[in-house]
Structure 1
Amino acid sequence: MPRERIRVRPFSLNIGDIFMKVKAFKAWRPAEGKAELVASVPYDVVDTRQAAELAAGNPDSFLHVVRAEIDLPEGTNPYCDEVYAQAKANLERLKTDGVLIREEQPSIYLYSQQMGEHVQYGIVATCHVEDYETGKIKIHEKTRRVKEEDRIRYVDTQNANTGPVFLAYRDSEKINKVVEAVKSTEPLYKFTAEDGVAHTVWKFEDPAVLEEAFGEIPATYVADGHHRSASAAKIGAMRRAANPNHTGDEPYNYFLAVMFPESELKILAYNRVILSLPGTKDEFCSALKDHFTIEANGIASPRKAGEICMYIDGVWSTLTPKYLPNESDPVAVLDVSILQNDVLAPILNIEDPRESNDIDFVGGIKGTAELEKWVKDGRAELAFSMYPTSMEQLFAVADAGMLMPPKSTWFEPKLRSGLLVNTLD
């Protein structure tokens, strides 16, 4: 899809320029008894084969919308015209068949997820694209053009946000009180998915209270969904430019988000596997000693920030940097930055991990045994186990207007798609 230059006219909103603009929306959501059948994993955590397996025998699965190529001939290019058209047709079918129903009034929702002992509560509402454009919705990661354009085309064709952007905000006592009050009410949905994560959704009776409360929040942070938020802003700009009567309050100015307080979020490590080396393993290990103290101790997971664990030739070792980065630089101090700057780029010639065929990434939810498996199966030469990035580090990078290396954070549990859909009309 060619990228067009869009002339953006400024907003003409009579809303304060300081705080967030959060709004209730008329959701499309599963009919009674359908939530567990509809709700699916996000589009970007499964490939086509995995999506097809998960949706097998379940025509109501939202995977038919977010991974519509599973309903087309095997080998179909997921970025071809037919996939976007099929996704739209599948979404319309769920509406027509009554699997999804439309709220009569705009609402805001509470969405909880429980994975083991960990529970997090998010506010589901829509956020204004102007807040993204002006930096009130802060980012910490670059987007890739091909993925951004895919999301632009997907949302534009669907005329809907079918998957929410995952946002974090600094804890608010006012919001916490509103959330506590709704927890004791009867939920709209409550089910446990096949992965053991429990999902519960409530509806706030008075969405204006939340709109006002978030109007006192100066910023939110994209935890996951950089491509979805970037594409929402581009679609808003496209439609704004095409509308001579634009006011800033049209539905296309808002995108679906789930906003969680920082204290409830859990970041896991995002580990690396090296698929090929530019030279021999001996050459690699020799070069590594210039930058790190290496201790072959059998420890698979870093015990603290500043340590990196490496698996090579059947042995786990702990790497400790010999030279510490500038502590005033919130990006340089990240363990993923140390690995990138002292190992991946200078020794392995991996300048841009997004584009390299010599590296892959494994979410920390799979554990270090998965890293060992990659190496033992011959899919990788070696693996690095990372210490998780903290929420404080994420906020510090975003507040400084800087960007982390790719794949710096892995949030778990993942948000389910299809529970609440926002249309741009």
Structure 2
Amino acid sequence: MIEPVSARVLTPEWAPTVIPAPYDSLTPSERAQQLAENPDSFAHVAGSPPESFGHPSEHLQHATRSTQALDRLIGLGTFGSTRSPSLYVQCVEADGHVQHALLGGVSLASHELRPHEDTQPGRVHGLAMHFTEVGRMSSPVVVTAPDMAPVAEVIEATIAASEASTPHEPLLDTKTADGARVTLWPAVLPGGESEGVGFDGPLYIVDGHHRVAAAYQAGFSQVLVALVPTAELYLGSFDRELSELDIMPRRVADLISTRCEVTEVSDAVAARPTEPGWIGVGVADHWYRARRRDADASRGAPPGIDPVSGLDAAFVHDFMLSEIFGVTSASDPRLTYRPTTVATADTPVTIMLAPVPLEAVFDVADFGGVMPPKTTYFLPKARSGLLLVRC
């Protein structure tokens, strides 16, 4: 059941200034620039604590600054008064995609939220302290499930009402600083129900693993979620980039050839893979398409076998990064991740993956497995700062 929430809604006149670009779509330097150039950005409130924090006192200081930033925004009148409990329908148009979601609360005690990614204890602790100090959620956890028919019906009813001759007016319809269009309506529930929308089975976390873990740690009774029908989820991927290359480029191709069929191609566009089993590799000024020899066998792990083992990301981390380049940790300073929505950088090594099928996300979560870091990249990204919800 997704339940109505009592929320303060961002006022339209402040929306273009306050709504920040998604956190993980920016590099650390871009985040710093965003904060420096816009003192009214909600990123001052919602920004995740730096992973370099090594002591709980630093998490507390970060959480205190977040609370002060939120109090400042509220004092400026950026949010309206608390509305009566409601569900909301959100539409985000960004990166060439349109995505609708139903926003509301999900009880942590009565509903299962299945993860497919690991979490970092330090970051979870920092976010838990943030939640404890701020006492609210504003960045929804994006979730989905194979059968979202009741949710889709509410979204369709709300959109239809907004297009009627006497339209159901949105609370927000704005362009954000990074060029996205965000629209928010109170949900129109078929039959006028007010208790919420029910559905069967678990929910699968799409984006927000650390927020869910932190909400449990902070003792929240519910989390703010955005339920997205599977038909409106677009999966992208992350490129792996290495800042150093200490072996000859030709040797890299030879080593990859021990596990893959390798073909040299003209450029990054020709190398980018479009289906699982293929991997694009850039080394110095050379680009290759590599097809895993075990690709056919890896599709659909047998019962009882961790489905993570067949993923291209696992192959890249266990073989290419570890055995060829000596990168054994996701926090290795030589390694960075870049979303496919961003142009490939001029780095010594680039490794490109095809998007993971959504069915693989469900399979891994059902098995209780953990995907390698940055295996999935769902678009469009949820925006922070539209709602303030006490949890």
C-alpha contact (below 8 Å) 1:113/1:200 kept by paired residues: yes
Matched, 1:138 2:114: yes
User: Is residue 6–residue 84 contact of structure 2 (8 Å, CA) maintained in 1?
Assistant: yes
Task: Give the % identical residues.
Answer: 25
Matched letter for residue 395 of structure 1:
F
**Local SS of the residue matching 1:142:** coil
1:322 aligns with 2:293: yes
Alignment TM-score, normalising by the size of structure 1? 0.79
Residue range with higher mean Cα deviation, 172-181 or 104-113: 172-181
Q: Which residue of 1 aligns with 2:62?
A: 83
> What is residue 415 of structure 1 aligned with on the other side?
382
Native 8 Å contact 2:95 2:380 kept in 1: no
Task: Select 1:225's aligned residue among 193, 198, 208.
Answer: 208
TM-score by length of 2: 0.86
The answer to whether the Cα contact below 8 Å between 1:68 and 1:87 also exists between their aligned partners in 2 is: no
Counterpart among 358, 361, 376 of residue 394 in structure 1: 361
Q: Is the 8 A contact 1:48 1:67 kept in 2?
A: no
Q: Is the 8 A contact 1:125 1:258 kept in 2?
A: yes
Q: Provide the residue aligned with 1:243 in structure 2.
A: none
Listed as ranges, the matches of 1:375-390 within 5 Å are 375=347, 381-390=348-357
Does structure 1 retain, via aligned residues, the 8 Å contact 2:114–2:204? yes
Q: State the partner residue of 1:124.
A: 103
RMSD: 2.6
- Residues in 2 aligned to 1:206 and 1:224: alpha-carbon distance in whole angstroms: 26
CA shift digits 1:144-200 (9 cap, x unpaired): 111111111111111111311111222433322221111122111001223332110
Change in CA separation of 1:78 and 1:412 when aligned onto 2, cut-off 3 Å: farther
Which residue number corresponds to residue 181 of structure 2? 198
Equivalence map 1:144-183=2 (5 Å): 144-183=120-159
Per the alignment, residue 41 of structure 2 pairs with 61
**Contact 2:59/2:126, CA 8 A, preserved across alignment:** no
Contact in 2 for aligned 1:197/1:413 (Cα 8 Å): no
CA contact (8 A) 2:60 2:130 kept: no
The separation in 1 between residues aligned to 2:27 and 2:277, in whole angstroms, is 33
- Could you tell me which residue of structure 2 aligns to residue 356 of structure 1? 332
Q: What do the CA deviations read for 1:324-349 (whole angstroms, capped 9, x no partner)? A: 45442422222112222332223333
Query: What amino acid sits opposite 2:180 in the alignment?
Result: V
Q: 1:287 aligns with which of 236, 252, 255?
A: 255
SS at match of 2:364: helix
Query: Cα gap change, 1:211/1:348 in structure 2, threshold over 3 Å: closer, same or farther?
Result: farther
Which residue does the alignment assign to 2:318?
Answer: 341
2:382 partner SS: coil
- Hey, what does 1:257 align to over in structure 2? 225
- Alignment partners' CA distance in 1, 2:250 and 2:95: 42
Q: Is the 8 A contact 1:277 1:358 kept in 2?
A: no
Q: Determine the C-alpha separation between the residues in 2 that align with 1:68 and 1:142.
A: 16
State the SS of the aligned residue for 2:342. Answer: helix
SS of equivalent residue, structure 2 residue 241: strand
Q: CA deviation digits over 1:19-73, x for unaligned, max 9? A: xx4221111221342222221224444466534533556543212322499xxxx
The answer to whether the 8 A contact 2:20-2:178 is kept is no
Residue equivalent to 2:52 = none
Give the counterpart of 1:102 among 81, 92, 95: 81
Cα distance change of structure 1 residues 78 and 196 upon mapping to structure 2, 3 Å threshold: farther
Cα distance in 1 for residues equivalent to 2:258 and 2:183: 51
**Is the CA contact (8 Å cut-off) linking 2:62 and 2:130 kept in structure 1?**
no
Distance, in Å, in 2 between the alignment partners of 1:93 and 1:206 is 35
Letter paired with 2:271 = A
1:235 aligns with 2:218: yes
Q: What do residues 228-276 of structure 1 show as CA deviations (whole Å, max 9, x unaligned)?
A: 111111112xxxxxxxxxxxxxxx3011111101110111121111233
Amino acid of the structure 1 residue aligned with 2:107: H
Q: Which moved more, 1:327-336 or 1:177-186?
A: 327-336
Amino acid at match of 2:285: G
Give the CA deviation at 1:94.
Answer: 2.0
Shift in Å at residue 302 of structure 1?
0.9
**Equivalence for 1:378:** none
Partner amino acid for 2:288?
S
| Residues 53/274 of structure 1: CA separation in 2 closer, same or farther (3 Å cut) | closer
Check the 8 A contact 2:102/2:151 in 1, yes or no. Answer: no
Aligned residues: 368
What is the match of residue 216 of structure 1? Answer: 199
* Cα contact 1:68–1:84 (8 A) shared by 2: no
Runs of 4+ off more than 6 Å: none
Instruction: Give the one of 279, 301, 309 matched to 1:332.
Output: 309
Contact 1:130-1:233 within 8 A present in 2 as well? no
C-alpha change, 1:131 and 1:79, in structure 2 (3 Å) is farther
Distance 1:364 1:43 in 2: 15
Question: What is the letter of the counterpart of residue 167 of structure 1?
Answer: V
Q: Find the residue that maps to 2:69 and give its secondary structure.
A: helix
1:112 aligns to what?
91
Which residue type is aligned with residue 225 of structure 1? G
1:415 CA drift (Å): 1.5
